[in-house]
Amino acid sequence: MSTWQIGDVSITKVLEMEKHWPFSALLPGAEEVVDEFEWLKPDFVTEEGRMKLSIHALLVESEGLTIIVDTCCGNNKQRPGATPFDNLQTDFMSELENSGYRSEDVDVVISTHLHVDHVGWNTTFVDGSWVPTFPNAEYLFVKDELAHWSSEPQHYGPVFEDSVQPILDAGMATIIDVDYEITGEIGLELTAGHTPGHVSVTINSQNESGLITGDMTHHPVQFAKPDLASSADWNQDMSTATRHEAYERWSDGRLIIGTHFAGRTAGVLVAEGNSWRFEAV
Ligand SMILES: [Zn+2]
What is the residue-level pLDDT of the chain in tens, covering all 281 positions?
A: 699 999 999 999 999 999 999 999 999 999 999 999 999 999 999 999 999 999 999 999 999 999 999 999 999 999 999 999 999 999 999 999 999 999 999 999 999 999 999 999 999 999 999 999 999 999 999 999 999 999 998 889 999 999 999 999 999 999 999 999 999 999 999 999 999 999 999 999 999 999 999 999 999 999 999 999 999 999 999 999 999 999 999 999 999 999 999 999 999 999 998 899 999 99
Q: 173-176 and 208-212 as β-strands: parallel, antiparallel, unpaired?
A: unpaired
Per-residue pLDDT at 198: 98
Distance, in Å, from the CA atom of 68 to the CA atom of 63, rounded to the nearest integer, reads 14
Per-residue pLDDT at 84: 94
The rounded Å distance from CA 152 to ligand 1 centre is 17
The rounded Å distance from CA 145 to ligand 1 centre is 14
Per-residue pLDDT at 215: 98
Q: Which secondary-structure segment (H or E) carries 10? A: strand 9-21
SS3 13: strand
Distances (CA, A) of 270 to 223, 254, 273, 274, 279: 9, 10, 10, 11, 7
SS3 89: coil
Per-residue pLDDT at 223: 98
Per-residue pLDDT at 274: 83
Centre a 10 Å sphere on the Cβ of residue 25 and count the other Cβ atoms it contains.
14
Q: How many domains does the chain have?
A: 1
3-state secondary structure 90-137: CCHHHHHHHCCCCHHHCCEEECCCCCCCCCHHHEEEECCEEEECCCCC
How many helices and strands, by DSSP H and E, does the chain display? 6, 15
Domain CATH for 28: 3.60.15.10
Global confidence as pTM: 0.97
The rounded Å distance from CA 169 to ligand 1 centre is 25
Distance, in Å, from the CA atom of 9 to the CA atom of 17, rounded to the nearest integer, reads 25
Distance, in Å, from the CA atom of 67 to the CA atom of 60, rounded to the nearest integer, reads 5
Per-residue pLDDT at 1: 67
The rounded Å distance from CA 70 to ligand 1 centre is 9
The rounded Å distance from CA 257 to ligand 1 centre is 14
Distance, in Å, from the CA atom of 137 to the CA atom of 121, rounded to the nearest integer, reads 13
Per-residue pLDDT at 67: 98
Distance, in Å, from the CA atom of 98 to the CA atom of 243, rounded to the nearest integer, reads 35
Distance, in Å, from the CA atom of 59 to the CA atom of 258, rounded to the nearest integer, reads 13
Residues of the domain holding 17: 2-280
CB 24 within 8 A of CB 66: no
Per-residue pLDDT at 273: 86
3-state helix, strand, coil in the chain (%, to 5): 25, 30, 45
